[in-house]
Amino acid sequence: MLRTLPSVAARRPWRSAFSIIAGALLVIGCTDSIVTPTRTEPTPVPPAGPVSMQLTCVASVQSGSVSCSTPATPAGVRGAVTYGGQNQYVKLTSTNVTFDAGTRIMGADVTLQNLLPQIIGSLDSATVHPNGIRVFYASGPTTSDPGTVTVRNPDGTETFLSSPAPYYQWSQALRTNAVSSVKRWEWNVGAGVNTFTFSVYVQTEVTPTLVITEIMANPSAVDDSVGEYIEVYNPGLATVDLSGYRIVSRSGSSTEQVTIASGVTLASRAYGVIAARSNTARNGGVTAIAEWGGTAIQLSNSTSATAPDYVAMRRPSVAPGTFFTMDSVGWAPVGTTTAPPTGRTRELLDVKADNTHMSSAAWNTGYTKYGIGDGNGDFDRGTPGAPNGVLVAPGPVVLVRISPGFAVIDTLNQFRRFSAFPEDSLGQTASTTITWATDNPAIATIDQTGLVTHVDTGQVHITATASNGVADTTLYSIFKYSPASIYRNHVEFGVPVTGLPNDNNNIVILSDRRTHYNLSYNASRGGPNWVSWNLNRTQFGKIPRAPTFYTDPLLVSYGAYQVTTCDYTGSGYTRGHMVQSEQRTQTRAENDTTFLMTNILPQTNELNTGPWGDLEEYGNELARFHQKEIYNVAGGTWPASPQYLTTTCGNANRVQIPTTTWKVMVIMPYGQGLADVTSASSVRVIAVDMPNTFTANSQPWTAYKVTVDQIEAITGYDLLAALPDAIEAAVESSIDP
Q: Which residues are catalytic?
A: 577
Burial level of 162, CB count in 10 A (0-12/13-18/19+)?
Answer: exposed
First to last CA, the chain: 28
346 by DSSP, 3-state: which? strand
> Contact 384/366 with Cβ under 8 angstroms?
no
> Contact 33/473 with Cβ under 8 angstroms?
yes
Provide the 8-state DSSP code for 86: T
Strand partners, 21: 204
Exposed e or buried b for every residue in 349-363, given b needs 16+ CB within 10 A?
A: bbbeeebebbbbebb
Phi and psi, residue 196, nearest 5°? -150, 160
55 by DSSP, 3-state: which? strand
Name every residue whose Cβ is closer than 8 Å to that of residue 352 and which is 6 or more positions away in sequence.
Answer: 235, 392, 426
Task: Report CA dihedral (257, 259, 264, 268) to the nearest 10 degrees.
Answer: 60
Element (H, E) at 251: strand 246-251
Beta strands in 361-489 (DSSP E): 363-365, 399-403, 407-409, 415-417, 419-423, 435-438, 444-446, 451-454, 458-465, 471-478
Other CB atoms within 10 A of residue 18 CB: 15
Other CB atoms within 10 A of residue 631 CB: 26
Up-side HSE of residue 239: CA atoms within 13 Å toward CB?
22
User: CA-to-CA distance for 131 and 170, rounded, in angstroms?
Assistant: 8
CA–CA distances in Å: residue 420 to residues 388, 401, 472, 609? 24, 6, 9, 11
Up-side HSE of residue 440: CA atoms within 13 Å toward CB?
14
Exposed e or buried b for every residue in 225-236, given b needs 16+ CB within 10 A?
A: bbbbbbbbbbbb
> Contact 420/433 with Cβ under 8 angstroms?
no
Burial level of 625, CB count in 10 A (0-12/13-18/19+)?
Answer: middle
